[in-house]
Every structure is written in C-alpha cells, then in structure tokens.
Amino acid sequence: MWLFVAFLMVPLIEIALFIQLGGLIGLWPTLAIVVLTAVLGTYMVRQQGRAAIANLQSSFSRLDNPSEPLAHGAMILISGALLLTPGFFTDAVGFALLLPPVREAVIAWARKRVTVTQFEMGGQMHREPPRPEPTPRSSHPKPDDVIEGEFTEVPDGKNPNHPGSGWTRH
C-alpha cells in the first residue's frame, strides 16, 4: 500500500513544485535547473560510484562483510536514477542520498529492521557429506525421476551444401 501511495504522491509533489517554481522564476530558468541538476548529479554519481566499487572490492579482498559497501552502492545507484528523473523533489532526495552521512543513517535505520539469520564468507572449506551409493533402479521409475522432453539427433559431420547461419565464418 505504501508503494502505491509513493507512486501517487511523488508525481503530484513534482507537478506542484514545477508549477510553483516555474511561476516564481519562469520557464527557462526552471528547465535550466532541471538540466543542470541532471548533469551535476551524473558527475557526482560517477565519482561516488567509483569510490563505492573500490570499497566493495576492498571488502572482498579483506574477506569482510560486503553488505555495507553493497548498500552504499545501491543507494548511489538509486540516487542516480532519482537525479536523472526530472523534478525538484526527486533531485533533492537524490542529492541527499549522495551524502555519506545520509546513507549511513539509512543503513542504521534498515539495520534496526532487518534480521540476518546466517552469514558465511569464503575462506573455509565446506564439504558436502558423502552421498550414499546409488541403489539399482526398479523397472518402474518413480514419478519424480522422469524428465520429459524432446530431442533431435545431430549428425557428426556438416552437410557440404549447408549455407551456414551467418554468425560464424566457415
């Protein structure tokens, strides 16, 4: 339900802000601000995206928990989508998500509401228990042992008159 309200309210807020600001400063300055925020936002998202990828790679190389760098990267991605969406409200939220303290606050808020039951990292050898020896099958397979399908037998050699698919060189 809250998602429906968001999809309903965000465009209404954007339209109201366009009307108010457009009436206050005029059409061309309003459009210039929209284009300027998209360009500036793209630059900032690119810079912070590179830093987020470096932090993620660093956490992988140290075998640390990558959830926080992944969360930062996801919020930077969402920020970029909001900044490319024309509007003042989405731009304000997008620029706010580019601020590390805001992202930290969102992560802290989400951390209170999410429970992690298990987390494993590589570095430890995990072995599956040995499987029991297969037993001889009966002449009637069980219903879950049957896989239905169709097949076509492919000849070994290529027909010399075959023109080819056009995707490969012959």
139 is a domain residue: no
Ranges in the chain, pLDDT < 50:
125-128
**What does the pLDDT read at residue 125?**
44
Nearest to 21 by CA among 39, 35, 33: 33
45 is a domain residue: yes
Enclosing domain of residue 62: 10-113
What span, in angstroms and rounded, lies between the C-alpha atoms of 104 and 86?
Answer: 26
89 is a domain residue: yes
Question: Does residue 21 contact residue 29 with C-beta atoms inside 8 Å?
Answer: no
144 is a domain residue: no
Neighbours of 137 (CB within 10 A): 9
Into how many domains does the chain fold?
Answer: 1
76 is a domain residue: yes
Largest CA distance in the chain: 84
98 is a domain residue: yes
**What does the pLDDT read at residue 126?**
40
pTM over 0.75: no
**What does the pLDDT read at residue 127?**
45
Q: Which residues contact 78 (CB under 8 A, 6 or more apart)?
A: 94, 97
123 is a domain residue: no
5 is a domain residue: no
What span, in angstroms and rounded, lies between the C-alpha atoms of 50 and 52?
Answer: 5
Q: Whose structure tokens read 């108010």?
A: 20
Residue type at 110 in one-letter notation: A
